[in-house]
Amino acid sequence: MAHGSHTPVGEFLLAALSPTPQSQAALFSVFLLVYIATLVGNSLIMATVSSDPHLRTPMYFLLGNLSFLDLCYSTVTAPKMLLDFLSERRSISYPACMAQLFFLHFIGAAEMFLLTVMAYDRYVAICKPLHYPSIMNRTLCSWLVAASWAGGFIHSLVQTVLTMRLPFCGPNQVDNFFCDVPPVIKLACTDTYMVELLMVSNSGLISTSCFIVLVASYATILVRIRSPEGRRKALSTCASHLTVVTLFFGPCIFIYARPFSIFPVDKLVSVLYNIITPTLNPMIYTLRNKEVKSAMRRLRTRGITFGGKVVV
Protein backbone atom coordinates (compact mmCIF):
# COMPACT_ATOMS: atom_id res chain seq x y z
CA MET A 1 0.00 0.00 0.00
CA ALA A 2 3.03 2.28 0.03
CA HIS A 3 2.92 5.33 -2.20
CA GLY A 4 6.25 6.84 -3.10
CA SER A 5 8.40 7.34 0.01
CA HIS A 6 5.41 7.68 2.34
CA THR A 7 4.57 5.23 5.10
CA PRO A 8 1.29 3.40 4.54
CA VAL A 9 -1.49 4.00 7.06
CA GLY A 10 -1.94 1.18 9.57
CA GLU A 11 -4.97 2.60 11.34
CA PHE A 12 -7.63 5.27 11.02
CA LEU A 13 -8.93 7.68 13.66
CA LEU A 14 -12.71 7.99 13.81
CA ALA A 15 -14.59 11.22 14.51
CA ALA A 16 -16.55 11.74 17.71
CA LEU A 17 -20.29 12.32 17.64
CA SER A 18 -20.01 14.76 20.53
CA PRO A 19 -17.17 17.03 21.70
CA THR A 20 -17.46 16.69 25.49
CA PRO A 21 -16.98 13.66 27.80
CA GLN A 22 -20.30 14.36 29.54
CA SER A 23 -22.27 14.28 26.32
CA GLN A 24 -20.32 11.20 25.18
CA ALA A 25 -21.46 9.37 28.32
CA ALA A 26 -25.05 10.44 27.76
CA LEU A 27 -24.95 9.33 24.13
CA PHE A 28 -23.47 6.00 25.18
CA SER A 29 -26.49 5.36 27.42
CA VAL A 30 -28.97 6.40 24.73
CA PHE A 31 -27.42 4.38 21.92
CA LEU A 32 -26.87 1.36 24.13
CA LEU A 33 -30.62 1.27 24.78
CA VAL A 34 -31.29 1.78 21.07
CA TYR A 35 -28.98 -1.09 20.13
CA ILE A 36 -30.52 -3.40 22.73
CA ALA A 37 -33.96 -2.49 21.36
CA THR A 38 -32.71 -3.35 17.86
CA LEU A 39 -31.44 -6.76 18.98
CA VAL A 40 -34.55 -7.60 20.99
CA GLY A 41 -37.10 -6.26 18.49
CA ASN A 42 -35.65 -7.89 15.40
CA SER A 43 -34.92 -11.16 17.22
CA LEU A 44 -38.52 -11.24 18.45
CA ILE A 45 -39.85 -10.79 14.91
CA MET A 46 -37.60 -13.57 13.60
CA ALA A 47 -38.67 -15.90 16.41
CA THR A 48 -42.35 -15.06 15.87
CA VAL A 49 -42.27 -15.54 12.11
CA SER A 50 -40.35 -18.82 12.32
CA SER A 51 -42.46 -20.35 15.11
CA ASP A 52 -46.04 -19.35 14.20
CA PRO A 53 -47.77 -21.45 11.49
CA HIS A 54 -50.13 -18.57 10.68
CA LEU A 55 -47.17 -16.47 9.51
CA ARG A 56 -45.68 -18.98 7.10
CA THR A 57 -46.50 -16.86 4.07
CA PRO A 58 -44.20 -15.10 1.57
CA MET A 59 -44.77 -11.67 3.15
CA TYR A 60 -43.69 -12.80 6.61
CA PHE A 61 -40.85 -14.92 5.24
CA LEU A 62 -39.50 -11.71 3.66
CA LEU A 63 -40.20 -9.77 6.86
CA GLY A 64 -38.15 -12.27 8.88
CA ASN A 65 -35.27 -11.86 6.46
CA LEU A 66 -35.56 -8.07 6.71
CA SER A 67 -35.32 -8.30 10.51
CA PHE A 68 -32.19 -10.44 10.21
CA LEU A 69 -30.61 -7.90 7.86
CA ASP A 70 -31.54 -5.03 10.19
CA LEU A 71 -29.95 -6.82 13.13
CA CYS A 72 -26.75 -7.50 11.16
CA TYR A 73 -26.66 -4.00 9.66
CA SER A 74 -26.80 -2.30 13.04
CA THR A 75 -24.19 -4.69 14.47
CA VAL A 76 -21.65 -3.65 11.83
CA THR A 77 -21.29 -0.17 13.36
CA ALA A 78 -23.09 0.04 16.74
CA PRO A 79 -20.72 -2.05 18.97
CA LYS A 80 -17.65 -0.13 17.76
CA MET A 81 -19.47 3.17 18.19
CA LEU A 82 -20.48 2.27 21.76
CA LEU A 83 -16.89 1.28 22.59
CA ASP A 84 -15.60 4.56 21.19
CA PHE A 85 -17.96 6.54 23.43
CA LEU A 86 -15.92 5.19 26.36
CA SER A 87 -12.51 5.70 24.73
CA GLU A 88 -10.36 8.78 24.48
CA ARG A 89 -8.70 7.53 21.29
CA ARG A 90 -11.18 6.30 18.68
CA SER A 91 -9.01 4.25 16.33
CA ILE A 92 -9.63 1.33 13.98
CA SER A 93 -7.02 -0.75 12.19
CA TYR A 94 -6.80 -0.71 8.41
CA PRO A 95 -8.03 -4.34 8.03
CA ALA A 96 -10.91 -3.73 10.47
CA CYS A 97 -11.85 -0.54 8.62
CA MET A 98 -11.98 -2.36 5.29
CA ALA A 99 -14.00 -5.19 6.86
CA GLN A 100 -16.48 -2.72 8.34
CA LEU A 101 -16.80 -0.97 4.99
CA PHE A 102 -17.37 -4.29 3.21
CA PHE A 103 -20.09 -5.60 5.54
CA LEU A 104 -21.80 -2.19 5.70
CA HIS A 105 -22.30 -2.14 1.93
CA PHE A 106 -22.93 -5.88 1.68
CA ILE A 107 -25.81 -5.88 4.14
CA GLY A 108 -27.07 -2.42 3.17
CA ALA A 109 -27.33 -3.25 -0.53
CA ALA A 110 -28.90 -6.64 0.26
CA GLU A 111 -31.56 -4.81 2.30
CA MET A 112 -32.27 -2.43 -0.57
CA PHE A 113 -32.82 -5.35 -2.93
CA LEU A 114 -34.95 -7.15 -0.34
CA LEU A 115 -37.17 -4.10 0.17
CA THR A 116 -37.67 -4.04 -3.60
CA VAL A 117 -38.64 -7.72 -3.52
CA MET A 118 -41.11 -6.97 -0.72
CA ALA A 119 -42.68 -4.24 -2.86
CA TYR A 120 -43.11 -6.76 -5.69
CA ASP A 121 -44.68 -9.18 -3.22
CA ARG A 122 -47.24 -6.54 -2.19
CA TYR A 123 -47.92 -5.68 -5.84
CA VAL A 124 -48.72 -9.31 -6.69
CA ALA A 125 -50.79 -9.79 -3.52
CA ILE A 126 -52.95 -6.73 -4.13
CA CYS A 127 -53.15 -6.58 -7.95
CA LYS A 128 -53.15 -10.33 -8.70
CA PRO A 129 -54.64 -11.97 -5.60
CA LEU A 130 -55.91 -15.09 -7.39
CA HIS A 131 -52.47 -15.86 -8.83
CA TYR A 132 -50.52 -14.82 -5.72
CA PRO A 133 -50.01 -18.33 -4.25
CA SER A 134 -48.68 -19.71 -7.53
CA ILE A 135 -46.47 -16.70 -8.33
CA MET A 136 -44.99 -15.99 -4.89
CA ASN A 137 -44.29 -19.59 -3.88
CA ARG A 138 -41.65 -20.48 -1.32
CA THR A 139 -39.12 -21.51 -3.98
CA LEU A 140 -39.33 -18.16 -5.77
CA CYS A 141 -39.13 -16.28 -2.47
CA SER A 142 -36.01 -18.21 -1.49
CA TRP A 143 -34.39 -17.45 -4.85
CA LEU A 144 -35.29 -13.75 -4.57
CA VAL A 145 -33.78 -13.55 -1.07
CA ALA A 146 -30.65 -15.35 -2.29
CA ALA A 147 -30.44 -12.94 -5.23
CA SER A 148 -30.68 -10.00 -2.82
CA TRP A 149 -27.75 -11.34 -0.82
CA ALA A 150 -25.77 -12.06 -3.99
CA GLY A 151 -26.43 -8.57 -5.35
CA GLY A 152 -25.32 -7.03 -2.07
CA PHE A 153 -22.13 -9.12 -2.08
CA ILE A 154 -21.19 -8.14 -5.64
CA HIS A 155 -21.90 -4.45 -4.95
CA SER A 156 -19.84 -4.46 -1.76
CA LEU A 157 -16.99 -6.40 -3.33
CA VAL A 158 -16.64 -3.76 -6.05
CA GLN A 159 -16.70 -0.92 -3.50
CA THR A 160 -14.18 -2.58 -1.20
CA VAL A 161 -11.73 -3.64 -3.92
CA LEU A 162 -11.70 -0.13 -5.40
CA THR A 163 -11.07 1.32 -1.95
CA MET A 164 -8.31 -1.13 -1.04
CA ARG A 165 -6.44 -0.39 -4.28
CA LEU A 166 -5.97 3.22 -3.18
CA PRO A 167 -2.76 4.25 -1.36
CA PHE A 168 -3.30 5.62 2.15
CA CYS A 169 -0.25 7.39 3.53
CA GLY A 170 -1.74 10.12 5.72
CA PRO A 171 -3.81 11.88 6.98
CA ASN A 172 -5.83 9.17 8.70
CA GLN A 173 -8.72 11.08 10.36
CA VAL A 174 -12.04 9.66 9.08
CA ASP A 175 -14.76 12.31 9.20
CA ASN A 176 -17.40 9.91 10.55
CA PHE A 177 -17.90 7.52 13.45
CA PHE A 178 -17.42 4.44 11.22
CA CYS A 179 -15.59 3.51 8.02
CA ASP A 180 -17.59 4.27 4.91
CA VAL A 181 -16.52 4.81 1.33
CA PRO A 182 -17.00 8.62 1.00
CA PRO A 183 -14.92 9.73 4.02
CA VAL A 184 -12.29 6.98 3.64
CA ILE A 185 -11.36 7.56 0.01
CA LYS A 186 -10.98 11.27 0.76
CA LEU A 187 -7.86 10.25 2.73
CA ALA A 188 -6.13 8.54 -0.20
CA CYS A 189 -2.86 10.21 -1.23
CA THR A 190 -3.67 10.10 -4.94
CA ASP A 191 -6.23 11.54 -7.32
CA THR A 192 -9.53 9.75 -6.63
CA TYR A 193 -11.78 11.46 -9.17
CA MET A 194 -12.38 8.40 -11.34
CA VAL A 195 -12.78 6.11 -8.33
CA GLU A 196 -15.29 8.50 -6.77
CA LEU A 197 -17.19 8.67 -10.05
CA LEU A 198 -17.36 4.88 -10.27
CA MET A 199 -18.46 4.52 -6.66
CA VAL A 200 -21.11 7.23 -6.88
CA SER A 201 -22.42 5.58 -10.04
CA ASN A 202 -22.49 2.22 -8.25
CA SER A 203 -24.03 3.15 -4.89
CA GLY A 204 -26.10 6.05 -6.18
CA LEU A 205 -27.51 4.00 -9.05
CA ILE A 206 -28.53 1.12 -6.78
CA SER A 207 -30.23 3.26 -4.14
CA THR A 208 -31.95 5.59 -6.61
CA SER A 209 -33.11 2.89 -9.04
CA CYS A 210 -34.46 0.68 -6.23
CA PHE A 211 -36.30 3.67 -4.79
CA ILE A 212 -37.83 4.50 -8.19
CA VAL A 213 -38.95 0.90 -8.64
CA LEU A 214 -40.52 0.94 -5.17
CA VAL A 215 -42.40 4.18 -5.78
CA ALA A 216 -43.54 2.95 -9.20
CA SER A 217 -44.84 -0.32 -7.74
CA TYR A 218 -46.93 1.47 -5.09
CA ALA A 219 -48.21 3.98 -7.64
CA THR A 220 -49.24 1.09 -9.88
CA ILE A 221 -51.08 -0.53 -6.99
CA LEU A 222 -53.08 2.65 -6.34
CA VAL A 223 -53.85 3.16 -10.04
CA ARG A 224 -54.99 -0.45 -10.53
CA ILE A 225 -57.41 -0.27 -7.60
CA ARG A 226 -60.45 1.76 -8.59
CA SER A 227 -62.59 1.91 -5.47
CA PRO A 228 -61.74 4.43 -2.71
CA GLU A 229 -62.23 1.72 -0.10
CA GLY A 230 -59.83 -0.58 -1.95
CA ARG A 231 -57.23 2.17 -2.18
CA ARG A 232 -57.59 2.89 1.51
CA LYS A 233 -56.98 -0.75 2.37
CA ALA A 234 -54.04 -0.92 -0.04
CA LEU A 235 -52.48 2.16 1.54
CA SER A 236 -53.03 0.71 4.98
CA THR A 237 -51.36 -2.54 3.95
CA CYS A 238 -48.35 -0.82 2.39
CA ALA A 239 -48.03 2.06 4.87
CA SER A 240 -45.45 0.29 7.04
CA HIS A 241 -43.40 -0.63 4.00
CA LEU A 242 -43.55 2.93 2.68
CA THR A 243 -42.36 4.23 6.05
CA VAL A 244 -39.40 1.85 6.07
CA VAL A 245 -38.53 2.77 2.48
CA THR A 246 -38.55 6.49 3.27
CA LEU A 247 -36.42 6.11 6.40
CA PHE A 248 -33.89 3.84 4.71
CA PHE A 249 -33.61 5.13 1.14
CA GLY A 250 -33.84 8.84 1.90
CA PRO A 251 -30.56 9.04 3.87
CA CYS A 252 -28.82 6.57 1.52
CA ILE A 253 -29.66 8.63 -1.56
CA PHE A 254 -28.53 11.77 0.25
CA ILE A 255 -25.15 10.20 1.12
CA TYR A 256 -24.36 8.14 -1.96
CA ALA A 257 -26.19 9.71 -4.93
CA ARG A 258 -24.17 12.91 -4.92
CA PRO A 259 -20.49 13.75 -5.45
CA PHE A 260 -18.36 12.82 -2.47
CA SER A 261 -18.44 16.15 -0.68
CA ILE A 262 -18.40 15.78 3.09
CA PHE A 263 -21.01 17.84 4.95
CA PRO A 264 -21.26 18.21 8.75
CA VAL A 265 -24.82 16.83 8.64
CA ASP A 266 -23.56 13.55 7.13
CA LYS A 267 -22.79 12.11 10.57
CA LEU A 268 -26.34 12.76 11.78
CA VAL A 269 -27.78 11.24 8.61
CA SER A 270 -25.50 8.21 9.09
CA VAL A 271 -26.84 7.75 12.62
CA LEU A 272 -30.38 7.71 11.22
CA TYR A 273 -29.96 4.90 8.70
CA ASN A 274 -27.29 2.91 10.58
CA ILE A 275 -28.63 3.00 14.13
CA ILE A 276 -32.15 4.41 14.31
CA THR A 277 -33.89 2.81 11.29
CA PRO A 278 -33.04 -0.83 12.24
CA THR A 279 -34.65 -0.10 15.61
CA LEU A 280 -37.79 1.47 14.16
CA ASN A 281 -38.51 -1.32 11.68
CA PRO A 282 -39.74 -3.85 14.29
CA MET A 283 -41.97 -1.21 15.91
CA ILE A 284 -43.37 -0.06 12.56
CA TYR A 285 -44.26 -3.57 11.46
CA THR A 286 -45.62 -4.81 14.80
CA LEU A 287 -47.62 -1.70 15.70
CA ARG A 288 -49.38 -1.63 12.31
CA ASN A 289 -49.77 -5.36 11.77
CA LYS A 290 -52.53 -7.17 13.65
CA GLU A 291 -51.34 -10.63 12.57
CA VAL A 292 -47.83 -10.08 13.93
CA LYS A 293 -49.18 -8.68 17.20
CA SER A 294 -51.53 -11.66 17.58
CA ALA A 295 -48.69 -14.08 16.84
CA MET A 296 -46.50 -12.40 19.46
CA ARG A 297 -49.28 -12.73 22.01
CA ARG A 298 -49.59 -16.44 21.18
CA LEU A 299 -45.83 -16.81 21.45
CA ARG A 300 -45.81 -15.12 24.86
CA THR A 301 -48.76 -17.18 26.05
CA ARG A 302 -47.42 -20.61 25.22
CA GLY A 303 -43.74 -19.77 25.74
CA ILE A 304 -40.81 -21.05 23.74
CA THR A 305 -39.68 -24.46 24.91
CA PHE A 306 -35.98 -25.10 24.68
CA GLY A 307 -34.41 -28.26 25.98
CA GLY A 308 -37.65 -29.22 27.67
CA LYS A 309 -37.81 -26.00 29.71
CA VAL A 310 -40.00 -22.97 29.23
CA VAL A 311 -37.74 -19.96 28.74
CA VAL A 312 -40.37 -17.29 28.06
Under-50 pLDDT residues of the chain: 1-5, 304-308, 310-312
Residues 260 and 253: beta-carbon distance below 8 Å? no
Percent helix, strand, coil in the chain (nearest 5)? 75, 5, 25
Q: What is the pLDDT of residue 69?
A: 94
> What are the tens digits of pLDDT across the range 42-59?
998 898 888 888 888 888
Q: What is the pLDDT of residue 194?
A: 82
Nearest to 161 by CA among 77, 97, 98: 98
Domains, in order of start, for the chain: 18-168+175-303 (1.20.1070.10)
Q: What is the pLDDT of residue 1?
A: 42
> What are the tens digits of pLDDT across the range 232-249?
777 776 676 777 788 888
CA 186 to chain centre: 23
How large is the angle between the packed helices 228-256 and 277-287, nearest 10 degrees?
Answer: 170
Neighbour-count burial of 96, counting CB atoms closer than 10 A to its CB (0-12 exposed, 13-18 middle, 19+ buried): middle
Residues 282 and 44: beta-carbon distance below 8 Å? yes
How large is the angle between the packed helices 290-302 and 21-51, nearest 10 degrees?
Answer: 80
